[in-house]
Every structure is written in C-alpha cells, then in structure tokens.
Amino acid sequence: MLIIALIAILATQMTARLQLQMQRTTNIGSNQQAYWYAMGAEAFAKRILIQSFEADSEVTHLGQLWAQGENTFPVDFGQITGEITDLNSCFNLNALRVNDDDGSGNSNRGNSANAANKSPARAAFEELLIAMNIEGVGSFEAEYMADALTDWLDADGSISGSGGAEDNDYASKEFPYLAANNYLASMAELRVIDHFTVNVIDKLKDYTCILPNTNMNKININTIAQDQPEILVAMLGISQNEASQALSSRGEEGFKNIDEFFSLSDLSKAKIPPEKKQLFAVKSEYFKLKTTASFNNSYFALNTIMKVDNKNNIRVISRIIGRE
C-alpha cells in the first residue's frame, strides 16, 4: 500500500508539472504571436506614413492619413490597437542639452542668474511650466527644474544654477546614483531628477516628448493639438487667447509655410523676433507609434519612434517594450 501511495504521489506531481510546462509553452507561443502582431502594426504604420507623404511631401498636417487617432483592427484570436502621433508637435526635453562648446572654447550653457544667457529652448521650457498652471509651480520652481534638467543633460559636472544638481548631489542620496550627463531616453527618467514631482511629470506628458539623441526642437505648427495653446504661449511669448486664435486659423491642410503662419494679424502685431520664428516648421520628421497587440490571453505593448528623411524613407530610431 505504501509503494502504491508513493507511486500515486509521484504520478500526480509529474502530471502537474507536465501541465504547467505545457501551459508555459502555450503562453510563450501566444506572447510571441502578439509580438509579431505588434511588429506587423509597425510595418503597417510605415506604409501609412509613406502614403501620407506621397501626395504632399512638403507639409505635415492633421488632415493626412496618419493622423486618424487610435484605431483597433481584429485579427485571428486577438486584436491590434495602434496610434501614430507627431513628435514634432510637442516640446523636446532634450533640447535643453546645449552644445558642449560654442566654437570659442567657452561652454555655451544656460545661466539661471542671467536670463540673457539662457538658450531659447531653456527659456521656453520655463515658460511652458508656468503656462501649464501646475499647482505650486511658479517662476522660481520652473527655474529650479530647468537648472536640474540642464545639469542632467549636459556633459560636464558643473552646476548651472542654484537649482542644479550633479553627481555629488545624487550620490549623497539614500539610494545613490549619478547624473546621466547625456540625453534623456524616456519620460520616466524625470522621476530621478531633482525638483520634478509626479504631478509635474504627469502634466508634462501632454506637452513634451523625448526625441532620442538630439536636441532639435522644431515645432510643427500644423500638428499642435488645438487644446494645447500653451506650447505657442511658451515658444512665442504671446497670450493664450492669441495662441488659441492662431491654432484655430489653420485650414484642413494646415499652413503651407512658416511665413503664412506668422502673417496672421495677431502674430504680426506681436512682433515676434526672427530667432523664435526659426523654432517652427510645417514638416515633421519624428513620429511615434503606440501599439498594443493581443493573442489569446497574451498582450504585448510596443512604442516605436520613427524618423522620416528628406526622401520620405522611414527608419526606426528606437523601440520600447511595455506600457508607458
């Protein structure tokens, strides 16, 4: 009886392990299929972008095929959901990383003590933080956050201002780490930079983005969301009413060129300097695809950043697996 009982126990354990292994194999296969669905969505998005620019290669606007918002497509045993967004319609946080040298041997860094030395991108970032009307964030807090972000991005170990922080500051924390001294890779990285709170980061997600390994900050006036005039307020120094009117003046196919945009009566009266006009464009280069694919009970999330070159060729710059 004892032998029979032992054999029964062993058989039960072997059966349970076999079932677990079979389920694990099934889950891996389903997850792999969901992955390939997501990669198929990426290939489809590339085709959509190519078709959008075949008809109008010089202007990017919200009336094109790519700008249809989130769409869901049924597939065998699952579905694929995808959305393409223009990363030139938001403020690039990496723009606060200035060139290491201005050509004269002197560091071309923003200085919080002297507004005249601030780069246009840094000044616009501070104005954007104020324009977003975040509770507890004024000019003082905005300057401190700009100081900290500048130090996180720049290549040296010097503090840019009173709100700055470098290796010594981060190394002295309970759980020490070092400043990146390089470009941001994702919005989540802001969580480890001094002065950036969860409330601020959540709000910034609506107005800012991350362009990998570049401090370019050309804003496409044709693709700025209608409910985000704060971007124009920060970049141009105009009122929110003037910014809203300017965005409302766009036709279905947007502005054909920058001069057409700045010839609007409200903007002409504002006498915007040429250096601020250079921060805008009517054509976009960077796009982001957010994909969620499911197969059986497995899910796969993929965020892809793509760049369109002058010949409308599209290449993938980065892929981030998982939900943001």
Q: Is the pLDDT assigned to residue 102 strictly greater than 60?
A: no
pLDDT average, residue stretch 152-170: 90
Contact 236, 243 (CB under 8 A): yes
DSSP class per residue in 49-90: HHHHHHH-SS---TTSTT-S--EEEEETTEEEEEEEEETTSS
Residue-averaged pLDDT of the chain = 88
Q: Can you tell me the distance from the alpha carbon of 128 to that of 177, in angstroms, rounded to the nearest whole number? A: 28
Give the H/E segment covering residue 289.
Answer: strand 286-295
pLDDT, residue 124, reads 92
Confidence of residue 252 (pLDDT cuts 50, 70, 90): confident
Q: Which domains does the chain have, with CATH numbers?
A: 1-22+32-87+285-321 (3.30.1300.30)
pLDDT in tens, 14-59: 887 877 777 777 777 888 999 999 999 999 999 999 998 887 888 9
Helix (H) or strand (E) holding 294: strand 286-295
Of 242, 234, 281, nearest to 260 by C-alpha is: 281
Instruction: Please give the model's pTM, rounded to 2 decimal places.
Output: 0.84
Q: How far apart are CA 263 and CA 70, in angstroms?
A: 34
More confident residue, 208 or 11: 208
